[in-house]
Amino acid sequence: MGAALELYFDGVAERRIHVLWNALAAAEVPTLRQLSRRHRPHLSLVGAELLDAPTVAKALADLPAAPPLRLSFQYAGQFVGRVLFLGPAPSTALLTHQAAVWRRLCEAGIELSELYAPGVWVPHATMSMRVPRPVLAEAIRRCLEFLPIEATISSAAVVDHKRDVRVPLP
């Protein structure tokens, strides 16, 4: 999966996550910023092998990609493969918006990853893609020290990191 519809956070929340990334890097935990300077703190609503930005924009024509939803990151978690993330408390507004985006994109014929299907999707902001085992406990501890993080969704983009594409959405 190389493409996603990413939601970005307000400046205060984004700066707090950048400080957390610095703390993780100091503990020898590779962060998203180290993978690419283009990575921003974000929450992915959907993921796919390919996403065509004009098709996504057309499918969401009367549905804002980035409504000003409030998020409260309350916990740190880990996916298989030592992927470290921060999780927001799941709100009805967030889950409803994600399901609506999923439905619209599927109706437009866009093939999405089943990991992002409503009822399966785990809302998260990735901190590290592969935490080294010897520092995993320290990485989680550092994340917990920064919580909670309050954020407001401020913008969105269709992003394909494999192809170095980022197209902001209205």
Q: What is the CATH number of domain 3-169?
A: 3.90.1140.10
Q: What is the pLDDT of residues 46-61, one digit of tens each?
A: 999 999 999 999 999 9
Amino acid 30: pLDDT: 92
Amino acid 35: pLDDT: 65
The tokens describing 95, both together, are 């889950």
- Dihedral angle over CA of 56, 113, 6, 27, nearest 10: -160
> Cβ distance 56 to 134 under 8 Å?
no
> In the chain, how long is the greatest CA-to-CA distance?
48
Q: What is the pLDDT of residues 98-120, one digit of tens each?
A: 999 999 999 999 999 999 999 99
Average pLDDT over residues 75-93: 96
Q: What is the pLDDT of residues 17-39, one digit of tens each?
A: 999 999 999 999 999 887 666 78
For the whole model, what pTM was predicted?
0.94
- In this model, does residue 166 exceed pLDDT 70? yes
CA distances from 119 to 46, 56, 129, 159 (A): 13, 21, 23, 23
**Domain layout of the chain by residue ranges:** 3-169
